[in-house]
Structure 1
Amino acid sequence: MPFPSSSKAFARSNCDLPDITRDWIHQRELKTRYRTDYDRDGFGVHPNVTSFTMHEEAHTKAGLVIRDLHNLGVDYARTDIPWSYQWTGLAGAKVCKPGYHRYGAAIDFTRFDWGSGHFVDTAVHGKSKRLTFRRRYLAVIATCRKHFGTVLHCNHDPDGSHWNHIHADRGRLAVAANWEYQSDTSIIQWAARDLAGVKDLAVDGDFGPKTRRAYKVLREQLGTGDIDPCASGDNFRVWLNLIGRHGIADLDAGAFRADAAMTRTAASD
């Protein structure tokens, strides 16, 4: 059955692939755990390894997200000791409800864990008062967008249900940025605010005059002047890779800048 499309922004997926059930993402030792509750501080509780059913393509793309987060932890951790990825928390994948979940083409992430106390809890860190945690959450958002066309989160939550998880779906492929698509705009706004230091910038998905100015500031600091994220998926991935590096490293925009090697890497992601 083809995945439904509601506008020209949506692209066809590999609908001939089957559903699969797995208790791991990316590698068999990197298990998935189901969030069953919250602790006294609001963090999700994930007591047991759990299997989830999803479309095979979604599982493969989720695996690329985890691969990239592992690599970011190894190469760009904010500590002297590299972070090696351990496990992933989920709230669900294929579920009988409206939207892409019913096709197994959507995944709800709740935790990304590198071990040794280094993790992202999607119910807490996205709106944390600590910049370090907001940046790390942003790195996860940017990494998800490299492989999923739609990423909903605590700062882009159209129906008020995404405050505690990150929803990623394959209804739209990982295409070029589109500033009419609020999911994309929110990433740039968040990066401009928390990486480039643009104060009082709302993360609301509206690519208005203030966001346009913030975008230019971010572009200058990242060194992406000639790399138009709206021109191609590869170009946007250059931006997303840079945002991911800064977010995991907990560094201001400009610590890493675009170069030819990064452009080649984005084309192979």
Structure 2
Amino acid sequence: MAFPSSSAAFARSSCGYPDITRDWLYQRDLKTRYRTAFNGDGYGVHPSTTSFTMHEEAHTQAGKVILDLHLLGQQYARGGGVWSYRWTGLAGAKVCKPGYHRYGAAVDFTRFDWGSGNFVDTAVHGKDKRLYMRRRYLAVVATFRKHFGTVLHCNNDPDGSHWNHIHADRGRAAVAMDWDYQTDTTIIQWAARDLAGVKDMAIDGDFGPKTTKGYELLCERFGTEAIDPAVSAANGRVWLNLIGRHAMSDKAAGAYRVNESMQAEADAEDD
């Protein structure tokens, strides 16, 4: 059963949409673990495999994220290595409370682990002093936006509660990018700052003159002047793939430029 539109969802009081319970995402050996605490350095503690209940569509879309993160590790790992994805940390999924969590259509993510010390901890790395760690967190956020319309995180935190996790929900499908929507604007601002070197770029969700210049700089570096991410979801995926590849490999904007195969890949990807 597909998840209903936001208007239909919030018109209902029931928490009883069909869901599934799984201890894995994408494939059975890529387990999920529950974050139970934080250690002295602020990193999440994820002691054991845990099952989570969520809407089946959310599970499917989250699995696509994990597959993409695995492929980024295989093909674009920092330093030219090959990383194989291992497990995912979560803080929760279906909870009968106001919002998309009540329908199992929202999931809170805390860690993405490729093994051998290669990981993203969402409580630390989004505002890390190390550029390569901020970039890696950005790669994760860009990948989520390919499959979820709403992505909240440390740099898109409207209520102050997302500093330590990434919230992704299906209240909005993975549609074309919208510069009136903070999920999308903050990704462009973050990429302009940490990939294109616009050091004074504020990540505030406001697509003003400074962000416009950052966007234009990214267009020039990526070769995407003719690919408007606000026109179609496929165009948006071209941009998100470019951001993810640069950020995962810890390279400045321009290391990879759009080509016909990249456009065809984005056209073929499903929401």
Q: For the superposition of Structure 1 and Structure 2, which TM-score range results when normalised by the shorter chain?
A: over 0.9
Tell me, yes or no, if the aligned pair for 1:17 and 1:57 is still in contact at 8 Å: no
Tell me, yes or no, if the aligned pair for 1:17 and 1:56 is still in contact at 8 Å: no
Tell me, yes or no, if the aligned pair for 1:156 and 1:205 is still in contact at 8 Å: yes
Shift of 1:3: 3.6
Aligned equivalents of 1:38 and 1:32: distance in 2?
A: 17
Tell me, yes or no, if the aligned pair for 2:113 and 2:119 is still in contact at 8 Å: yes
Aligned equivalents of 2:191 and 2:179: distance in 1?
A: 15
**Structure 2 residue 37 is matched with structure 1 residue 23:** no
User: SS in structure 1 opposite 2:203?
Assistant: coil
Aligned equivalents of 2:190 and 2:197: distance in 1?
A: 10
Q: Report what 1:120 is aligned to.
A: 120
Aligned equivalents of 1:17 and 1:40: distance in 2?
A: 39
User: SS in structure 2 opposite 1:225?
Assistant: coil
Q: Report what 2:6 is aligned to.
A: 5
Q: Percent identity?
A: 72
User: SS in structure 2 opposite 1:88?
Assistant: strand
Aligned equivalents of 1:30 and 1:143: distance in 2?
A: 17
Aligned equivalents of 1:85 and 1:253: distance in 2?
A: 25
Q: Report what 1:223 is aligned to.
A: 223
Shift of 1:4: 5.2
Taking the TM superposition and a 5 Å limit, the aligned residue runs for 1:1-269 are: 3=4, 5-6=6-7, 18-269=18-269
Q: Which amino acid aligns with 1:207?
A: F
User: SS in structure 2 opposite 1:147?
Assistant: coil
Q: Which amino acid aligns with 1:118?
A: N
1:149-201 CA-to-partner distances (Å, cap 9, x unmatched) read 00000001000000000000000000000000011000000000000001210
1:96-122 CA-to-partner distances (Å, cap 9, x unmatched) read 121100000001000000000000000
Report the RMSD for the aligned CA atoms in angstroms.
Answer: 1.6
Aligned equivalents of 1:17 and 1:245: distance in 2?
A: 36
Tell me, yes or no, if the aligned pair for 2:80 and 2:249 is still in contact at 8 Å: no
Shift of 1:6: 5.0
Tell me, yes or no, if the aligned pair for 2:17 and 2:103 is still in contact at 8 Å: no
Aligned equivalents of 1:80 and 1:238: distance in 2?
A: 22
Distance 1:135 1:93, change over 3 A: same
Aligned equivalents of 2:80 and 2:258: distance in 1?
A: 24
Distance 1:19 1:98, change over 3 A: same
User: SS in structure 1 opposite 2:62?
Assistant: helix
Shift of 1:80: 3.6
Aligned length: 262
User: SS in structure 2 opposite 1:98?
Assistant: coil
Shift of 1:79: 2.6
Aligned equivalents of 1:177 and 1:121: distance in 2?
A: 26
Q: Which amino acid aligns with 1:218?
A: L
Tell me, yes or no, if the aligned pair for 2:58 and 2:105 is still in contact at 8 Å: yes
User: SS in structure 2 opposite 1:240?
Assistant: helix
Aligned equivalents of 1:210 and 1:223: distance in 2?
A: 20
1:219-261 CA-to-partner distances (Å, cap 9, x unmatched) read 1111111000000000000000000001110000000011110
Tell me, yes or no, if the aligned pair for 1:192 and 1:217 is still in contact at 8 Å: yes
Shift of 1:211: 0.5
Aligned equivalents of 1:77 and 1:23: distance in 2?
A: 26
User: SS in structure 1 opposite 2:49?
Assistant: coil
Aligned equivalents of 1:79 and 1:18: distance in 2?
A: 43
Distance 1:252 1:64, change over 3 A: same
Deviates more, 1:218-227 or 1:134-143: 218-227
Q: TM-score normalized by structure 2?
A: 0.94
Shift of 1:17: 7.9
Q: Report what 1:13 is aligned to.
A: none
Aligned equivalents of 2:42 and 2:208: distance in 1?
A: 34
Aligned equivalents of 1:21 and 1:62: distance in 2?
A: 13
Aligned equivalents of 1:223 and 1:192: distance in 2?
A: 14
Q: Which amino acid aligns with 1:5?
A: S
Distance 1:80 1:199, change over 3 A: closer
